[in-house]
Amino acid sequence: MSVPGHDDLALVERLRAGDEAAFSEVVRRYHEPMVRLASSFVPARAVAEEVAQDTWVAALRGLGRFEGRSSFRTWLFAILVNRAKTAGAREPRTVALEGPDGPGDERFTPGGAWAEPPAPWPDDVIERLVAPGLASRVLEVVATLPPAQRRVVTLRDVEGLESGEVCELLGLTEGNQRVLLHRGRTRVRQALAAELEEV
């Protein structure tokens, strides 16, 4: 999981000065999260990698226009989202969904409420010890979510962005973002239920 560093602004200044080590550092921090996010817009990882590469080029060229009104990470993700949407429109998806949110929506009423609420996850020491081992499995499950849910879960739960930032990046209303996040988290929980029961 990527944690935004408080030194991003210092890195930006170093990037503006042509510091190659600063570029290596921002790529280390943000390249994989960028590819994960791009993958929710395009049909293949190779295309997502291209989108990330294009984003790096655009970000470096536009670095002089970065004013710091948002975090560097949010600014970078905004460039990526725009490029990924364009690439996604060019590249046809090969997997058809069974509806706007894919299969599994029977857990919700037509009004968006729970048909049957999920069981809460206990917060005990064993789960916290097992959690790091489940991290890679969680990312695998997130990658299988319908694209809109995957984008929101990736940005909120994997990258740690605030809901307002996610709404702005993806052009969502607060309510829509909440529903997508809720449904995505529910799918992740269901997919991991067997692993958690074995703990």
Q: Residue 108 carries which DSSP code?
A: B
Q: How many CB atoms lie within 10 A of CB 106?
A: 8
Per CATH, 8-90 and 105-197 having the same topology is answered no
Q: 114 forms bridges with which residues in the sheet?
A: 108
* Residue 58: Cβ-neighbour burial (10 angstroms; 0-12, 13-18, 19+): middle
CB 56 within 8 A of CB 92: no
The tokens for 131 are 């959690």
Q: Give the amino acid at 57.
A: V
- Taking the chain (199 residues) in consecutive chunks of 10 residues, what is each chunk's mean pLDDT? 58 88 91 92 90 92 87 92 86 47 56 61 50 75 92 91 92 93 91 68
Question: pLDDT value at position 91?
Answer: 66
3-state class (DSSP) for residue 114: strand
The tokens for 141 are 């499950």
The tokens for 109 are 């009423």
Map out the domains of the chain as residue ranges.
Answer: 8-90, 105-197
CATH number for the domain formed by residue range(s) 105-197: 1.10.10.10
CA distances from 173 to 77, 94, 129, 193 (A): 18, 28, 36, 30
Q: Would the pTM count as exceeding 0.85?
A: no
From the options 3.40.50.300, 1.20.810.10, 1.10.1740.10, 3.40.50.1820, give the CATH code of 8-90: 1.10.1740.10
Q: 155-159: which pairs have CB atoms within 8 A and are 24 or more residues apart?
A: 155/37, 155/77, 156/181, 157/181, 157/185, 158/1, 158/2, 158/33, 158/36, 159/1, 159/2, 159/33, 159/37, 159/73, 159/77
CB 125 within 8 A of CB 186: no
Question: pLDDT value at position 47?
Answer: 92
Question: pLDDT value at position 150?
Answer: 93
Question: pLDDT value at position 33?
Answer: 93
